[in-house]
Amino acid sequence: MRPVGRAHRARLERLTRATGLFREEEVATAVELLDESLAGGDDYRLVGAFEGDQLIGYACWGPTPGTVATSDLYWIVVERDRQGGGIGSQLLGEVERRLTADGRRLVVVETSSRADYAATRRFYEARGYTRAATIRGYYAPGDDLVIYTKDLTPGDLARTAP
């Protein structure tokens, strides 16, 4: 695990698009968050999983404005043919370790209710995340927002690994 830099920008965009899950505006948002992070802002942080020099997955998170020690996990993206191989779990574990070290107490994840996101929802549930809320029709008719949370206070972090 190491930082995602400017040299990885095009690869990050290709990885995000290649999952087949995200609309073009979402792909553009992922690239914008990297750009903001590289510009020195504190709102977004990224870590990458690499094979040699090749970015094969990344996670993006940041503090939730207006809260006390809550953070949003915006993205975990893993190269499509490597999904299910533990890279996402490693990325999530690294994010949680960094959040804990920074004194963060709660992680919030937003995802879709669409059938093609079922594996994503199972991923978070298997790692100790609780389905906290559903907002019907949030993304589009029939596409609900599903919100997961995880408490990172001592004793809860051990539930990360399945």
Question: Domains in the chain, please, with CATH?
Answer: 6-159 (3.40.630.30)
- H helix runs in the chain, sequence order: 9-18, 24-38, 87-101, 118-126
Residue 85 phi/psi, 5° resolution? -100, 10
DSSP 11-32: HHHHHHHHTS-S-HHHHHHHHH
Sheet holding 106-112: strands in order across? 45-51, 54-63, 70-78, 106-112, 143-151, 130-140
Query: What is the model's pTM?
Result: 0.89
CB 149, CB 106: distance < 8 Å: yes
Q: Which residues contact 90 (CB under 8 A, 6 or more apart)?
A: 1, 49
Per-residue confidence in pLDDT tens, the chain, 162 aa: 999 999 999 999 999 999 999 999 999 999 999 999 999 988 999 999 999 999 999 999 999 999 999 999 999 999 999 999 999 999 999 999 999 999 999 999 999 999 999 999 999 999 999 999 999 999 999 999 999 999 998 755 444 444
CB 144, CB 137: distance < 8 Å: yes
pLDDT of 155 reads: 59
pLDDT of 161 reads: 43
Q: Which tens digit of pLDDT belongs to each residue from 11-39? A: 999 999 999 999 999 999 999 999 999 99
Dist. CA 108–CA 74, nearest whole Å = 9
Which of helix, strand or coil describes residue 66? coil
